[in-house]
């Protein structure tokens, strides 16, 4: 049973994350705790919770996915694995794409799938839960792609993780607006298609450009 | 036939952080050949290997393996290079068998040795299923050597490959290098220890290449 280079890489990335102990579940735990603190702190105000729910849900999901993003290239850079990945016949752009998509699969997608649990804590109607999942899937995918550029740029920088957050979060504002907007529209029974399509458009552009940009940043880091 | 050509290095220079590290390095390694790079600490040996790997861009000069010129087609050039650097590039949670299976898959059919062959050649077969965090420094070095074997590269760049190896490890390193060269592979190594490359041509990098022509 022989797999291609990219399938091998995806399998390795997932295996390393799942074996790393905290990395596998820390994002989910963070989202549950941070998201759960809002209803506790605000108290039994159903209308207020319903009003802020979509925004809080999206912000918490993005922050949680961001928690493990600084590890995307750092571990491989520190132990020399990135040198090894850059050699051999696989283009660095494809390596970046696979790593970003694997980050989404193990960090972002589980958050999106767990989103409805948190949504119910804010009192969001059951009819809106499908849109919650869809909007969070797209928003976390955009984060893994755009944030991956930041992870590559901050390689080798001291306090790279904090720098990454400051660099990337402003870029995530459009995603936040459209994802929270889609969930909000679903809660109010309005049309959600335009929000989701705009979110998907961001993802498509990021899918095309982020691996190329991140690969260029990695080459700089390797050659320095 | 250009595929018979080995490694060609002409008038290679490199600057890092505004400082000249390499100047006018010229040599060739034929198929099946080897070159030992020597020089004092800080002479640029490791930098030379990273430049030869295509990881660190040269500021001038020409690099080609089997007719593939780095400047013209970097990925075709890098595909022919294997590097054994200072960092072992080993994941502590993986087992040697898993690591080699991954790198074999990553080599995409270019592999010339199977993971079990490679583990046997470096004497790690009994430890194939043990997480790498339990391996000693010398055993990790052996695993890095085994990875080089499964990646199917023509040119092996070895940065102090003997560090951490015991007498048995050195013998195995010599045998692995001999096998690689017998199939037309090339070796460029920095080393202070004898493991079968003693009779090969030497390239000495001196402080001169460091200081010369700082402009």
pLDDT in tens, A24-68: 789 999 999 999 899 888 888 889 999 999 999 999 999 999 998
Q: What distance in Å separates the CA atoms of residue A63 and residue A143, rounded to the nearest whole number?
A: 9
Residues of B with CB below 8 A from A5's CB? 105-108
Among the partner-chain residues B89, B93, B147, the one whose CB lies closest to the CB of A16 is B93
Q: Is residue B43 one of the residues assigned to a domain? A: yes
* Percentage of residues in chain B having pLDDT higher than 90: 63
Q: Any chain B CB within 8 A of the CB of A121?
A: no
Which are the contacts of A19, defined by CB distance < 8 A and separation ≥ 6? Answer: B93, B94
Q: Which among B93, B101, B110 is the nearest to A19, CB-wise?
A: B93
Q: Which of B150, B66, B165, B89 is nearest to B115 (CA)?
A: B150
Q: In 10 A of CB B63, how many CB atoms?
A: 20
B177: domain CATH number is 3.40.50.300
Residue at B85 is within a domain: yes
Q: For residues A116 and A136, give the distance between their C-alpha atoms in angstroms, rounded to a whole number.
A: 10
Supply the pLDDT for residue B18: 79
Judge whether B176 lies within some domain. yes
- Tokens 């976390």 sit on residue: A140
Cα separation, A213 vs B72, whole angstroms: 21
Q: Which of A107, A87, A86 is nearest to A152 (CA)?
A: A86
ipTM: 0.90
- How many CB atoms sit inside 10 A of residue B65's CB? 25
Using a CB–CB cutoff of 8 Å, tell me whether A220 touches chain B.
no
Domain count for chain B, please give it. 1
Q: What is the pTM of this model?
A: 0.91
Residue with token string 């290679």: B12
Identify the CA nearest to A220 among candidates B19, B16, B80, B103: B16
Contact A88 B79 (CB under 8 A): yes
Give pLDDT tens digits along chain B (215 positions).
345 689 999 999 988 877 888 888 899 999 999 999 998 888 889 999 999 999 999 999 999 998 889 989 988 899 999 999 888 899 999 999 999 999 999 998 888 889 999 999 999 999 999 999 999 999 999 999 999 999 989 999 999 999 889 999 999 999 999 999 999 999 999 987 878 887 788 888 876 444 444 33
**B81 lies in a domain?**
yes
Question: Would residue B134 count as lying in a domain?
Answer: yes
- Asked if B90 and B42 touch (Cβ cutoff 8 Å), the reply is no
Residues of chain B contacting residue A7, judged by C-beta atoms under 8 Å apart: 105
The token pair that represents A33 in the structure block:
């705790």
**Contacts B97 to A, Cβ<8 Å:** none
Parent domain of B155: 31-56+77-206
């Amino acid at each position: 049973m022989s797999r291609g280079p990219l399938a091998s890489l995806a399998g390795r990335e997932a295996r390393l994350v799942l074996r790393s102990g905290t990395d596998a579940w820390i994002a989910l735990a963070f989202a549950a705790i941070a998201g759960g603190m809002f209803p506790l702190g605000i108290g039994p105000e159903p209308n207020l919770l319903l009003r802020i729910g979509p925004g809080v849900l999206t912000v918490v999901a993005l922050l949680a996915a961001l928690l493990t993003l600084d590890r995307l290239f750092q571990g491989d850079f520190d132990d020399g694995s990135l040198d090894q990945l850059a050699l051999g016949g696989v283009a660095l752009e494809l390596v970046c794409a696979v790593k970003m998509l694997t980050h989404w699969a193990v960090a972002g997608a589980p958050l999106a799938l767990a989103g409805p649990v948190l949504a119910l804590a804010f009192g969001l109607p059951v009819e809106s839960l499908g849109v919650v999942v869809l909007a969070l899937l797209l928003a976390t995918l955009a984060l893994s792609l755009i944030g991956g550029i930041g992870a590559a740029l901050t390689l080798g920088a001291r306090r790279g993780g904090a720098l990454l957050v400051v660099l990337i979060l402003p870029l995530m504002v459009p995603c936040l607006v459209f994802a929270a907007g889609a969930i909000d529209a679903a809660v109010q029974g309005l049309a959600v298609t335009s929000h989701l399509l705009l979110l998907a458009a961001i993802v498509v552009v990021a899918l095309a450009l982020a691996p190329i940009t991140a690969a260029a940043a990695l080459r700089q880091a390797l050659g320095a | 036939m250009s595929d018979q050509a080995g490694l060609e290095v002409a008038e290679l220079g490199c600057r890092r952080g505004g400082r000249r590290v390499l100047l006018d390095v010229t040599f060739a390694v034929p198929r099946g050949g080897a070159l030992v790079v020597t020089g004092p600490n800080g002479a640029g040996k490791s930098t030379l290997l990273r430049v030869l790997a295509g990881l660190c861009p040269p500021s001038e000069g020409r690099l080609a393996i089997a007719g593939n010129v780095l400047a013209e087609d970097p990925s075709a050039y890098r595909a022919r290079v294997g590097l054994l650097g200072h960092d072992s590039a080993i994941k502590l949670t993986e087992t040697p068998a898993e690591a080699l299976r991954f790198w074999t898959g990553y080599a995409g059919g270019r592999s010339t040795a199977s993971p079990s062959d490679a583990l046997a050649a470096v004497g790690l077969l009994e430890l194939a299923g043990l997480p790498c965090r339990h391996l000693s420094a010398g055993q990790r070095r052996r695993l890095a050597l085994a990875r080089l074997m499964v990646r199917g590269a023509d040119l092996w760049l070895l940065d102090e490959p003997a560090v951490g190896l015991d007498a048995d490890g050195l013998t195995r390193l010599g045998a692995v290098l001999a096998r690689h060269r017998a199939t037309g592979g090339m070796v460029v190594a920095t080393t202070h220890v004898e493991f079968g490359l003693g009779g090969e041509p030497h390239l000495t990098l001196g402080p001169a290449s460091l200081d010369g022509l700082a402009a």
